[in-house]
Amino acid sequence: MKRGSAVNIASFSGHGSIRAEVMGDDFERPATADEIESMKDLLVKDLQAGALGMSTGLEYDPGIYSTTDEVVELAKVVASHHGRYVSHIRSEDRRFWEAIDEIVEIGRRAQLPVRVSHLKLALQSLHGQTDRLLGRLDQARDEGIEVTADIYPYTYWQSTLTVMFPDRDYEDRQAALFAVEELTSPEEMLIPDFDPDPSLAGKTLAEISALRGTDPATTLIDLIREAEALRAERKAKGEDGDVESVIAVSMTEDDIERLMAWPHINFCTDGGLVGSHPRGFGAFPRVLARYVRERQVMTLEQAIQKMTDGAAFSHGIHDRGRIEPGAYADLVLFDPETVSDRATTEKPHARATGIETVWVNGHLIYQGGWESGEGYGKVLRRQSSS
């Protein structure tokens, strides 16, 4: 007997998935009109199955090669089904302002709600410009574009090494220099996973550079070259998956706190339970401990609202996230005086403290370290009134 999921699950139709299905390996170009029509057909099937809308990862393959027009055409289909658009925008650093303008334009042209996933100012020259950013987003909202965002409570992100080369030229030394001098630093660039040479896992770029006797930019290029060779080898065998990852510091606490206080932002993890970033286990307890109890960036009530009703509403889900008669009993009992994250980059799977009991759809699934192991979660589908 299948037990199902311990938690509720909702899904967006992934632009990258449908683009890959239509274009295959020939994706490093704009899609043709016929290909966009084929993508629309796949998107409609997902929407009819209950997808909340469409998500894009425009900084990653294959979405990075799409045009704004392509995304708008697909977003119009989502709008016709009363869905929503969420995006890892096209750039979180070098071309940040253009990427913000693009998601606003998508919302304007397709006439649907748009959401910036894990909003951040991830470049030294962007630090301190939260007022400028929030001003742009508020202006869009004043124009009738329902733009929202989410954020995770860390100054460091996790991705692949290749994401630091937006033009996908991994031999570009200037791009490598920019990455290690402007985006982050060799000392703050941790390589938690590196399949070509597992002995490097857990070391910083600075440490690897010292071991190899090469400067950081050269080392970064060499690591990507080695990773791409292994990726190609595995692909030839029909194997898939990442062969490396990077965790790098690019944000500031002041910017994070100012963004958190924006009324139209919610919290997220942007991570999984098997990743090397502590956000998969620590994000929400960290908000409650660090930003509510310790730094008093917001009240406990404001934080909970952003985690529950606010998050549900901004995804078009109107019957979750509230405690009232007739509502679904998705509940967490915690001690606001002791709740805290324990996960770190060294121990990313360390469990939080202060979480006493969890119910999903009225069923007890966790209490004092005991787990039921049962799957009481439900699949949440798009609601017509969203």
Q: What is the model's pLDDT at position 384? A: 65
Measure Cα distances from 88 to 115, 221, 246, 285 in Å: 9, 24, 17, 24
Token pair recorded at residue 21: 């299905």
Q: Is the dihedral of CA 23, 28, 29, 30 positive or negative?
A: positive
CATH class belonging to 9-155+250-380: alpha beta
Residues of the chain with pLDDT under 70: 1-2, 384-386
Q: From CA 81, how far away is CA 154, in angstroms rounded?
A: 35
Boundaries of CATH 3.20.20.140 in the chain? 9-155+250-380
| Cα Rg, the chain, nearest whole Å | 21
Q: What is the model's pLDDT at position 241? A: 82
Q: What is the model's pLDDT at position 1? A: 42
Measure Cα distances from 58 to 79, 90, 92, 249, 296 in Å: 19, 4, 10, 21, 34
Q: What is the model's pLDDT at position 21? A: 98
Task: Mention every residue, 6+ apart, whose C-beta is less than 8 A from residue 114.
Answer: 84, 85, 86, 87, 103, 104, 106, 107, 145, 146, 147, 148
pLDDT tens-digit profile of 30-83? 999 999 999 999 999 999 999 999 999 999 999 999 999 999 999 999 999 999
